[in-house]
Structure 1
């Protein structure tokens, strides 16, 4: 049986959780630009950059769950992709943005990196070896993260997160 949204959400909250308003993290700013807009923070992985009008500090776990289902899980066509791949893409989307995660998945299966999960991408995923997709995707994830200017500050934590994702990939395949 594949990983359900409920199971995926429980895992995700293992990575995401407490409120943070680190002013050096652009995700905590309503504009996504450090020092511009309001530093409203991030809670349960829901950031002010993505949801500038949301009261992040008072966000409940149930509210976060509803947002993740509606705006993240459903938007990556989760019900049409092998659950081992879905969890990897979903976690990366939450950590680095939906478009980035979708493009790295497309790169892993050798289709145009347009950030749209359509029929061609879904077919390429289905036609690809599951383990190859998981390994390539996480490789592209690390390469992307290590190219960011914020790598010196957050790279250790991102590396640990990807290492945990690789463990989940092994369990889920």
Structure 2
């Protein structure tokens, strides 16, 4: 990896990030050239400088922040051509830890360690064992896109994010295969920060548990009424009335149990997919 790769990668990332933006739905808040006000405040404080609006960020500050907090954080100089840019862009958009998690997920089954966002010896060893970085970039981008689709902000920024990932995929694969990459393009919304804090909540199993509980209780009552029916069998009218109640109650209870079971299966399936998208379970 050479220093020029970082500069070439940064140039494309900055196209995706655009200029100053302060969208109400963007969890990053006020952001300029991909640098949030919070990150800029920390940078200036660390440099012994007073706080000021990120609108006034200098090119030098932008380069310093991207170098220290993103490129170095994902060990860009240790990553193969193309993969370095893809992981770097993901780090800027969703944080270094999240982008490294996408890399780790994409390295399965070669990588057998935890999906923890720590680009350590195990991850680097698995990366060296890959003989097709073009395909690896495909998997990283697919994993990233799946994550984005599970954010509550996808409805607002999904079009921009999808366009950005499409560009990142094409540019990364061009570098990985020794071709000249396309120029990056800006799509409004693609610069919005995509953070795990905005993940959609896992669906609740409470309705399913309630339905199953009610259905089970209903079946218990049905059994009780059946016993009562036997005792009242001499009274044909009462026995016939109870029979109708038993049949209706049994049907309703069975439907509740079946429906509750089906809903629990659905919610568990949705929860598993969400966990996979967020990298909280092995994939």
Shorter-chain TM-score tier:
0.7 to 0.9
User: Which structure 1 residue ranges, 4+ long, deviate > 3 Å from structure 2?
Assistant: 49-55
TM-score, normalised with respect to structure 2: 0.54
Question: How far has the Cα of 1:52 moved from its partner?
Answer: 4.8
Whole-angstrom CA distance in 1 between matches of 2:59 and 2:40? 15
Structure 1 unaligned spans of 5+: 29-40
Which has the greater radius of gyration? 2
Give the match for residue 91 of structure 1: 89
Per-residue CA deviation, residues 124-151 of structure 1 (Å, 9 max, x unaligned), is 0111121221011000000000110000
Q: Which one of 62, 79, 82 corresponds to residue 81 of structure 1?
A: 79
Where do residues 1-173 of structure 1 align in structure 2 (5 Å cutoff)? 4-28=5-29, 41-53=30-42, 55-110=53-108, 111=111, 112-128=114-130, 129-173=132-176
Q: Output the CA distance in 2 between the equivalents of 1:10 and 1:140.
A: 24
Partner of 1:35: none
Q: CA deviation at 1:50?
A: 4.0
Structure-2 separation of matches of 1:152 and 1:48: 24
Cα distance in 1 for partners of 2:133, 2:55 equals 39
- Deviations 1:50-100 (Å, cap 9, x if unpaired)? 445463121112211111011111111111110210100110111111111
Could you tell me whether the CA contact under 8 Å between 2:25 and 2:153 is conserved in 1?
Answer: no
Measure the CA separation in 1 of the matches of 2:105 and 2:77. 20
Q: Distance between the aligned counterparts of 2:151 and 2:125, measured in 1?
A: 31
Q: Deviations over 1:87-129 (max 9, x none)?
A: 0011011111111111110111123211100111001011112
C-alpha RMSD over aligned residues: 1.6
Of 1-10 and 161-170, more deviation after overlay is shown by 1-10
TM-score when normalising by structure 1: 0.87
When the two structures are aligned, how many residues end up with a matched partner?
Answer: 161
1:170 and 1:107 map into 2 onto residues whose CA distance is 18
Structure 2 unmatched ranges of 5 or more: 45-52, 177-283
Q: Which whole-Å CA distance do the structure 1 matches of 2:104 and 2:39 have between them?
A: 23
Quick check: 66-75 or 51-60, which moved more?
51-60
Rounded to whole Å, the distance in 2 between the matches of 1:77 and 1:150 is 29
Q: Give the Å deviation of 1:49.
A: 4.6
Paired with 1:90 and 1:4, the residues of 2 have a C-alpha distance of: 11
Distance 1:77 1:104 in 2: 15
